[in-house]
Amino acid sequence: MSETIPAVLSDIRTIDDMIAAFQDEEQCRRLLESMVWRNGRICPACGYKRSIAIAGRDTGRGRARPGLYQCSSGDCRFQFTVTARTPLHATKLPLRTWLKGMWLLLQSDKGLSSVRLAEALGVSQPTAWRMGHALRLMVAREHMLNGTVEVDHFYLGRRPDRKPDDPPPGRGRKGQAKTQKTPVMAIVQRPADITPGSSAGHARAAVVSGLSLSAAVRAVAPQVELHAHLMSDEAKAFVAMGECFAAHETVNHSNGEYVRDSVHVNSAEGFNARVRRTIAGVFHHISPELANLYFHEMGFRWSQRVVTGQVIRKSRSGKESTKTLWSRIPPALQLQQVFRAAVGRQMRRSHDGGIIIKSAVAVFG
């Protein structure tokens, strides 16, 4: 089945194609196994690469269900399915519903709200909400970024309501205006090549405690290689942090400098704008506690693009500039990237109807 994955998924272009491809539960299970276990079955408990199928055997409490396997290691003997120790662990939904939901989430350019997903799949809104978080947990990427990396920050939230007779908010730390918004650090990797067919760079974002040097280091250090070429604006925290990297260049936004040759943070600001449009147009509000999960999804969408060419655009003032044209990877083909690092990432339902992230690290994948 693994050899036919690209052929099966590449044929899915429309909703009718998706419904036809994901209507048989057995076929969906085999397709999911081929995406999760690309190099053969792996025991999610110990990592042993040999196992036996026990589906249909008499276990003493009835026949074993389809897709059940047992680890062949004498020290383990763990019984598992393709959803074991993944965000789909112990799911009661059919696998065809999961694959349809994932395709619908990836098909939308900026995502899909849980209300709309619930209407499309015929499930409850809380179930659709947890399905969305399962996708966001699986698309998190852990590899370090290298090459040219841009760093910027933005604020999450809206302007607080104020009455006309309320006093002004005053000034905050280091001359910054006081705000109740949540600061977010954005890290965007520029593509290494812009020839047609080249893939886009990766994008990350994370909620930070503030815009101090220590907060910036905690956000950037686990994500960016020290030999990377860092680019940022003139923020003092970024300037001090840049001394740790192989190269660091800045643009001075306060003086009206936004581009100097190849020095700019326009990619990071473009990602910031995309985050704002996604929140305003799709989710309307995301909590700071779960914001990093939403950023995983937005960063994944950013990376699932390829260069299709370049075009020269002319501004109103007559200035010409070269723009790179991008094309999105078909959502069915993105499913392979979604499930390739699913094992080890686990979440459970909390008592109050929310979710608990048990593990955000992929163990095999």
> Which stretches of the chain score pLDDT less than 70?
1-4, 6, 56, 58-62, 167-178, 364-365
Three-state DSSP class for residue 185: strand
CB 211 within 8 A of CB 232: no
Q: What is the pLDDT of residues 137-195, one digit of tens each?
A: 999 998 999 999 999 999 988 777 777 777 666 655 555 556 778 899 999 999 988 88
CB atoms within 10 A of CB 364: 17
Closest CA to 199 of 328, 35, 296, 9: 328
Amino acid identity at 61: R
Q: What is the pLDDT of residues 318-340, one digit of tens each?
A: 888 888 899 999 999 999 999 99
Q: What is the pLDDT of residue 4?
A: 64
For the CA atoms of 34, 40, 41, 43, what is the dihedral angle to 10 degrees? -130
Q: What is the pLDDT of residue 15?
A: 92
Q: What are the angstrom distances between the C-alpha of 3 and each of 225, 278, 282?
A: 35, 36, 36
Q: Write out the DSSP string of 313-326.
A: EE-TTS-EEEEEEE
Beta pairing partners, 356: 348
CATH top class, domain 148-158+180-303? alpha beta
Closest CA to 120 of 109, 110, 131: 131
Whether pTM > 0.75 for this model: the answer is yes
Three-state DSSP class for residue 230: strand
Closest CA to 191 of 306, 274, 331, 308: 306
Q: What is the pLDDT of residue 279?
A: 93
| Residues ≥6 apart with Cβ < 8 Å to 354 | none
Domain residue spans of the chain: 148-158+180-303
Closest CA to 144 of 187, 185, 192, 184: 187
Cα 270-266-319 angle, rounded to 5 deg: 110
**In 22-147, which ranges are continuous DSSP H helix?**
25-36, 95-107, 114-121, 125-138
User: Cα separation of 123 and 121, whole Å?
Assistant: 6
